[in-house]
A and B are shown apart, each in its own frame.
Chain A
Amino acid sequence: MEIYLPIAGMSINFFLILGVGGLVGFLSGLFGVGGGFLLTPLMMMIGIPPAVAAASDSNQIVAAASSGAFAHWRLGNVDFKMGLVILAGGIFGGTIGVQLVKVLRAMGNFEFVMTVVYVLMLGLVGGAMFVESLRTIRRSKSATAEAAIAAPVSESGLTRLFNKLPLKMDFHRSGLNTSAIFPFTIGTTVGIMAAILGVGGGFIMVPAMIYIIGMPTIAAIGTDLFQIVLTSANVTLQQAIVNHTVDLLLALILLSGSTIGAQFGAVAGKRLKGEQIRILLAIIVLALTVKLFLDLVLTPSDLVSLAPAKGGGH
């Protein structure tokens, strides 16, 4: 069944998009990550123009994250004050990011920058996760597993440094008293990436909130989801206004697929051990990294490509 995407300006199989959404939803349900970082490259692989893929993915994330944020809000896991500080950074960064996309598209190297950033980030995250989970699996085979897991996360040097910065604030829900500058900076960085890559940024934000800011894990996840909703809403709006690249139809089909997939993923996730899940995710991420990296270094089959027309996604 073919469906015509109005903004992407192309006809594509409805079930292919639903399937891609479903697959990413399944993985995100299984691994507990947003999945935006997998969705954009997958959409590019099936032929959606990169700028439309990223913008529509942001739109899809608004929906996906809001359902999660709603659940966490009901459980009292959202630190609104922290969320708003990060959000201020996120909106600032998102606005810069969209303008950056505009400049890069005009220069014709948007796809290149996007691929390079993806390769670096996915390689880093995938590699770190692979090593960490492999270590955990090895360790759990030996008898000392319990002791290692029980070791508390020590206060990092960065946390102490940020405690010395001005603009100190009380974050009740997280039980912290720290400088607002750091969450703002993190928010800005992730906001820029959200615009360029069409990702929510949860896979960088949550570790940063836990290990660097020092928030409790569950509050970090809840707060992250809350700010993702608003950050990606801002990116969606900016993309719609500046680049006209949000394909709502595409986003809705992806959303339908990913919400169904996520339910199955969550069930599958309960049957696997944490480190098994992580190593699986690491392998997927690394495979994607290799594919994108090869695109950069192998001689392309087409030397000449269509540069995006002004103001249109096709």
Chain B
Amino acid sequence: MKRLAILSLACCLVCFWGASALAITPETQPKVITSASKNVVEIGLSYSGDKIFFFGVNPVPGADLVIKLTAEKEEAVKLSVKGKVGPLWMTVKQYEVTGSPFIYKIHANKPLDQIIFKETAQELELGYDAVRGKMKMHLVRGEAAPEDEAIVWKGLLKIKARANLYNIVEDPARLEISEGKLFKHYFRFPPAATEGRYQVESFCFLKGELVGYGKDMIEIKKVGLEHWFTQTSQKQPVFYGIMAVLVALGAGLLVGVLFGKGGHH
């Protein structure tokens, strides 16, 4: 019994060493010094997304760069899948999808598969295959089918790409590196990017090995009227509802008085 305990302990230790030897820890790498044109984005009345410039210094001249934008929070989304019932199209099943990032953008100076190996990409979650691998689906309603994973992934990707929340650009023109050292690019934060904290991670690779890492935080928050409307509607719904009715009544009566006869009917 004692021998078995020692053996299993040894096994655990070997596994632990093995895992830590394999794992890539970006934080221990030489730091990529970066700077963002701003770190706080405010959603006001005329907000329609924002563009933030990033500048940085490549710690190893000539190394390849991969820059990833994700949201700090993980997202759980519910997706409806349509199917044909008789002659009509309607929702036939729903999946709850977890583990997929709310926003996912990558800029690289050349195609990812030319910069890193599949395993590294998987581990650092770089590229759509890695995102797809991490996505978990849980059937909420309807009957599961084997092709659902592919359908849901394709659908999610389409929804996200249309809202400009997911995209991958592998283009040296988009991620400029002057003399192999100084780099510059921008991320567009679409209007669909809601309140929260976002992280921009810069990875430097030399012959597939991680040689540098840096991280910037960007915060998006609603301000002024937008903040007030959102907060009130969520936290004091009764007050918000009464206010909405009173404002509408006031506006209607005002119009009635102004135009004499009133607008509608």
Contacts and interface: CB of A to CB of B under 8 A. Distances in A.
Nearest to B249: A66
Given A4-B43, A10-B192, A71-B262, A63 B251 contact: yes
A227 to B, nearest CB: 12
A251 B241 CA distance: 13
A249 interface: yes
A112 B91 contact: yes
B81 A303 contact: yes
B191 A68 contact: no
B242 interface: yes
B106 to A, nearest CB: 22
Contacts, number: 217
A249 B229 contact: yes
Nearest to A66: B252
Interface string A227-254: 0010001001111110010111101100
A248 B91 contact: no
B146 interface: no
Contacts of A133: none
B253 interface: yes
B143 to A, nearest CB: 14
B79 A229 contact: no
B89 A296 contact: yes
Nearest to A297: B87
Contact of A6 (B80, B222, B238, B251): B222
A244 B48 contact: no
A108 B248 contact: no
Contact of B249 (A11, A221, A229, A312): A229
Contacts of B46: 1-4
Interface in B53-91: 77-83, 87-91
Contacts of A252: 247, 251
A35 to B, nearest CB: 7
A86 to B, nearest CB: 16
A174 interface: no
A290 interface: no
Interface residues of A, number: 74
Contacts of A66: 248-249, 252-253, 256
A71 B256 contact: yes
A70 B252 contact: yes
A120 interface: no
A7 B265 contact: no
Contacts of B248: 59-60, 62-63, 66, 233, 236, 251, 255
B47 interface: yes
A304 B249 contact: no
Contacts of A221: 265
B253 A237 contact: no
B159 interface: yes
A233 B245 contact: yes
Interface in B213-265: 222, 225-226, 229-230, 233-234, 237-238, 240-245, 247-249, 251-257, 259-265
Nearest to A33: B265
A29 B89 CA distance: 35
B252 A62 contact: yes
Contact of A305 (B82, B83, B225, B260): B82
Given A1-B46, A6-B229, A302-B155, A239 B241 contact: yes
26 contacts: A6-B233, A28-B264, A33-B265, A64-B263, A66-B249, A66-B253, A67-B252, A67-B264, A68-B264, A70-B253, A71-B256, A221-B265, A236-B248, A249-B225, A249-B229, A252-B251, A255-B248, A255-B252, A263-B263, A300-B89, A303-B81, A304-B154, A306-B79, A307-B79, A308-B78, A314-B194
The 9 tightest CB contacts between A and B, nearest first, are: A304-B155, A240-B241, A66-B252, A11-B191, A67-B256, A262-B263, A2-B48, A67-B262, A63-B252
